[in-house]
Each structure stands twice: as structure tokens, then as C-alpha cells.
Chain A
Amino acid sequence: MAFTDNCDIFASFHEDGVNRVINHVRRQRPSLFNYATAAIARDPRRLCEPIQAHPIVGIRNNPLATIVDLLPIPGTDFGLDFCVQLSDLRIDFHPGDEFALPPELNPLPAQRLAIRLRVCIGLACPPNDIVDQLISPPNTRPKDDRQDRETPKPLRPVPFRELRCFCLDAFATGGVRIRTYSGKPYLEPFLSGFEIVDIKPDGLEAALECYVKLILSLVVLPGLRTLLEATELDIIKNKVKVVVTPMPTSATLPNNPAIENDQLKAFAKIEVI
């Protein structure tokens, strides 16, 4: 049986190769996996986990972390510095034999991939002496609603000495789909399930899972989407002007892309322009 029985071009990625690619992405685009407020981003030594970046990041002045806003302290105009870092991200394609999934996600369904990652969160909690200085005097003047609405004040960072860090192991399941943006098809990973291990109470676990899942779904995984034609490794594009489109699924091609046998497979057809 030939690879191209049901398509013009076939591409497959073994999970070992994908994991190496992810490693390259982590080193060359660290801002996809590291999020921090400005004060921490400016001084990466303060992060919970050191970032092993490729030299090109420094040469081209690419950021090590994506800058996020301060965590507001309600009722004040103060905000806390913090960071979220995703490390040790590994993928396991179906049949899922690289690492064990927690019971909530086990067994790995067909056409799905499993992700194991480590989430480290650091909060810049100030010491007590600094907190005392931040207590504001009583405010006896009535609020001028209109003035407050029109000119929201920026949050002021709370001074801190060091981050309070903790790391959690997390697992996720998901898949890869083909989505078209600006007329071009992309292979885009998506999440279905997410589980953080050993957090109590359950409500806290659920809340944290929600938060991290949102970061993964809205930021990290879309950042990993690749042009379908790029996955054909340019062998066509370098030579011929073509339009690469995914093969429609059918009885002979039930899944495109397909996740099976430890591989991610994509099937495409070409039209010469």
C-alpha cells in the first residue's frame, strides 16, 4: 500500500521528531512558553525556571517572555508581578505509549494525542514591612464617578524581593485539525481534556486547570500551528506554483489529519496554478 494511494502528497511526523521540533520551538521562541510581567521579564533571573534560549533570540533581540499585565489587587490600584512558565512539554500520539495519563484522561481516544507538561507559576508576594507601607489612608471624599470612569489609573506594581514559585505537573489530550486562515490551510493542534495532578481542594484544581487550559488553547497551541504546505517541506513550492489543499475525508480516507501509529499524518492534493 502506497503512502499516496488517496492523495497527491503525504506527510507524516513521528512523535519523536515532533518532540524534537517542540524542543527547538521552546529554545527559539521562548516567549510562547514563558509569560511574565514587565519587571520580571526585564530580569529573567527572577523567573521560576531558567530559560534555555537559542543564541538567535539574543542576537535578534527577541523577547524571552511575553509581557503580561500585573495581577490586580481589588480595591487598590496595586498589582502583583507574576509569571507562568510551561516546561517539559512532550507529545505522545495515539496509541499513547510514552507516558501514563491520569485516570481522568485515560485511555487516550483514537485519533488523539496526549501532552505532558510542567506548569510553573511564580507570584511576587511582598514581605510584611512593604505591605504596611502600601496601606492607604481613609478616603473620606466621595468618588467622582465621571472622573474615575474617564481616567482609569494604571496599576502600580507592588515592590517585591523574590517570587514565590510552585510547579505542577499537567496532562492534556487533544488533536490536530486543519483550519484555513487567509485562504491558507494550517495544521492546528487543539485541546480536548486537561488535568493538573494533585491539587486540593477540587475547586482550586478546576479553576487552575481552566486558567492554564485557556493559556494553552488560546496562545500556546495556536502558536504551534504550521502551514499545511510547509509540512510538505516545500518540495513542491520551491519549483512549481501550486495550491496545496487538504484531501477531503472519505470512506478510504476517514481522517485528515490522522493521528495513529505514533504519527501525525496529513494528506493533501495539489493544483498547479
Chain B
Amino acid sequence: MQAVLNREVFSTRLFDSGALGVLASVIHQFAEPAIYGVVVRRGDIVVHTLSFEVSAASQNLQLDIDLATSIRDRAGREESCTCAPAGTEKHGVMPREMRPTVSPKGYVLFYVSRGEGGLSVQVGTNRSNQPVFDSTTLGKGDLFALSLLAPTKYSMENRLGRARGMIEVSMPEAAFQSLADLEPIAVEATRDAFAPPDVKASSGQGIVFRVVDAARIVIEQTQDPPDDEPRRRRRIVVPKRPAPSGPHR
């Protein structure tokens, strides 16, 4: 099968909790049982809506919502799609049997599996006009988790305050182990500081920001990684052509 490369995995230089792209996710715990509507935006433009239910009856402690899939599958309908089927969409509310659920003790994780990213979510109920959760402004208890792959230096800042820091990512020297098994690095984020402010991580290792008050965390690659394995030139062999049979004019 022809496999399409997820280019953004290697080309993303900016990781913004308020404009999600690949390799990053925001996590919020919805403690009130209700049906929640999600508005997905890119900048100011609404690209899609969807819904989920927080129910005391649900055993599900983690609900992953892929913002890229929900957009892509507005026309197609994948099983994991949280989109409203055609004709039933009403304020982002799906039929009950199709709606994903999560326990009030569980977490909802918003992420982007592919594509250009820049997505934010506002989550609300029909009880209030105010959103219950807005990913452009993370609050207390919210998490921002990401993996940085390129072995180089990154700046980190809280756009809602003065907190600044640096992250240095390096290629592991020893044999690679399963990236999933690497202990993630925890960073506390307040408006004015990161703890710790300097983070050293291995390529692919998880970094989890725990928001204490309010945050919009932006991590940006500050330099290009060293390219000690230059791009390989591909040799394409030209097939032999038969010799001409007559005099060449």
C-alpha cells in the first residue's frame, strides 16, 4: 500500500496551545455531566462543530477528539468520527447513539493528527452562552502535552503572562527505546514562570505542562537542528536502449 508521509510531524516549528497542530494536545476535565457542543476554529473561522456527553454512567476515563479527522470527515463518515451526520446537525448536537461519552472523572483530550493545524476549540453547553472551556486560554488544571522531535533549541513562553524558558532537545545516545515508555517531563506553568524554566528532553520524549492559573503556551524552534546526515542523492539507473541499426544522420 502506498503510504503518505505525515510531513507536518517533521516540519512543525511552532507549538501553540491556543492553535493546535500535530504532536501537541490540550486536556481538560469536564466535571459536570451534560451534553457539550464543540466549536472548532482556525483563527476566527469556524471549521466544524461536534458534540460529546459527560455522563456519570460512562466508564470512559479518556476521550480523544482528533480535530483534523472531524474536519476531514465532514463529507465521509468514519467510525471514530464525532461529526454530526447529515440532516441531524442542530447546534452541534448528534443523535445520542452516535455521541461519544466520557466519565465526569475522565479527561477529554483534543489533538490534531495531521494537517496544517492552527486549531482551537470552544466547548459549551446549551445552559449558557459562555464557553465552559476555551483552548486559547488554558485554566487551572488544564494540561498541554507535546513531543518535540527535532534535536535543537526551543523557546517557551506564556503569552498570557511573562513566563519564559528554554527547551533543549537532543538525540538519545543509547539505543532507542520505545518512545512511549520514556518518562514525560513535567513543567508547571503560571502566568509569570515555568518550573523548571530550562528543560532538557530527548527527541520524542513527552513534555507535559500543567497550568496553575492561566496560560497560552507557545513553544518555538529557535534554530535549525544540525544536519549531520545530509540528504541522500537518489540514483536512478537509465535503462539501456538498443544500439541504432543504421548510420546516424
Q: Do chains A and B touch in the complex (CB under 8 A)?
A: no
